[in-house]
Amino acid sequence: MAEVLIVDSQDEAGAIVAREIADLLKDKPDAVLGVATGSTPLAVYRALEQLIKDEGIDVSQVRAFALDEYVEIDPNHPESYRSVIHREVTERLGLNPEYVLVPGQNATSLATAGQEYDAAIEAAGGVDVQILGIGRTGHIGFNEPGSSLASGTRIKTLAAATRRDNARFFDSEDEVPIHCITQGIGTILKARHLFLLAFGESKADALAASIEGPVTASCTGSAIQLHPRATVIADEAAAAKFDNAEYYRFAAANKPDWQGL
Ligand code: PGA
Which atom of ligand 1 is least distant from the CA of 141?
9
Sheet hosting strand 68-70, strand order edge to edge: 68-70, 179-182, 154-157
The whole-angstrom separation of Cα 19 and Cα 106 is: 32
The share of the chain scoring above pLDDT 70, in percent, equals 100
pLDDT (tens digit per residue) in 138-163: 999 999 999 999 999 999 999 999 99
Contact call for residues 227 and 2 (beta carbons, < 8 A): yes
Which regions of the chain does DSSP assign to beta strands (E)? 3-7, 32-35, 63-66, 68-70, 100-101, 129-132, 154-157, 179-182, 193-198, 230-235
Taking residues 22-40, report their average pLDDT.
Answer: 98
The strand pairing partners of 235, in sequence order, are 7
User: What mean pLDDT value characterizes the chain?
Assistant: 97
Q: How far is the CA of 69 from the centre of ligand 1 (A)?
A: 13
The strand pairing partners of 196, in sequence order, are 132, 232
Which atom of ligand 1 is least distant from the CA of 202?
5
Residue 202 has pLDDT above 80, yes or no: yes
Taking residues 239-245, report their average pLDDT.
Answer: 98
Which atom of ligand 1 is least distant from the CA of 132?
9
Which atom of ligand 1 is least distant from the CA of 41?
3
- Nearest C-alpha to atom 7 of ligand 1 is from which residue? 135
The whole-angstrom separation of Cα 221 and Cα 135 is: 9
109-166-212-242 Cα dihedral, nearest 10 degrees = 160
User: Where would I find the H helices in the chain?
Assistant: 10-27, 42-55, 81-85, 92-93, 110-123, 160-166, 185-189, 204-212, 245-253
The whole-angstrom separation of Cα 76 and Cα 100 is: 15
Q: Please give the pLDDT value at position 153.
A: 98
Give, for 220, the enclosing helix (H) or strand (E). Answer: none
Q: Please give the pLDDT value at position 2.
A: 84
Residue 64 has pLDDT above 90, yes or no: yes
Contact call for residues 113 and 153 (beta carbons, < 8 A): yes
Please state the separation of Cα 244 from the chain's center in Å. Answer: 24
H and E: helices and strands count for the chain: 9, 10
Kindly report the length of the chain.
261
Tell me the CA end-to-end span of the chain in Å, nearest whole number. 13
**Cα within 13 Å of Cα(77), Cβ side:** 16
The strand pairing partners of 101, in sequence order, are 65
Residue 1 has pLDDT above 70, yes or no: no
The type of residue at 28 is: K
Q: What is the DSSP letter of 219?
A: B
3-class DSSP state of 151:
coil
Taking residues 63-90, report their average pLDDT.
Answer: 97
The whole-angstrom separation of Cα 247 and Cα 225 is: 17
Q: Best substitution site from 17, 35, 39, 85 to test ligand 1's pocket, by max atoms within 8 Å of Cβ?
A: 39
The type of residue at 127 is: V
Q: How far is the CA of 135 from the centre of ligand 1 (A)?
A: 5
